[in-house]
A and B are shown apart, each in its own frame.
Chain A
Amino acid sequence: MTDKLCKPWEHRFSRRQWLNGVSATGIASAGLPFGPALADELVKQRKQVLFVWIDGGMSQYESWDPKPNSPFGGPFRPIDTAVPGIQVCELMPRSAKIMQHLCVIRGMSTQDNSHSAGVPRIQRGDPKNRGVTYPFFGSSVAKLIGSQGTGLPAYVSIKPGSGGFIYQDAGFLGPQFGAVAFGDGKPPENFSLPESITDADDELRQLLRKKADERYRLRRRPESTEATGYIFDSARELMRQRAMFDLSKVAQKDRDRYGEHEFGRHMLLARQMLEVGVTFVKVTSYGWDTHGDNFNGHASLMPRFDQAFASIVEDLHDRGMLDNVLVIAMSEFGRTPRINGHVGRDHFPEAWSLAMSGRGIRRGLTVGKTNAKGTAVEGDAYDIGHMFHTWFNALGIDTNKTQFDNHGQPLPIAHEEMHAVKDALAAV
Chain B
Amino acid sequence: MPRERAASGLERTARLLDLVPYISSHQGISVKELGEVFHTTENHLVEDLTTLWMCGLPGYTPLELMEISFESGYVTIQNAQTLQRPRALSKDEALSLILGLNALHDQVSSENPTVALEINALINKLSDVVGASITSRISNTNEVSASIRSTLIAAISIRQRVEITYHSIARDSVTTRTIVPLDSQINNEVEYIFAFCELSHSHRTFRLDRILSARKSQTPMTEKSLNEMSDEVGKLTASISISSRHRDVNEILNIQIPSGDVSGSFHVAIEVFSQDWLTRAVMSLGGAATVSQPLAASVAQRASKALLGYKI
Query: Do A and B form a real pair?
Result: no
* Chain A residues proximal to chain B, CB less than 8 Å: none
Interface of B toward A, CB cutoff 8 Å:
none
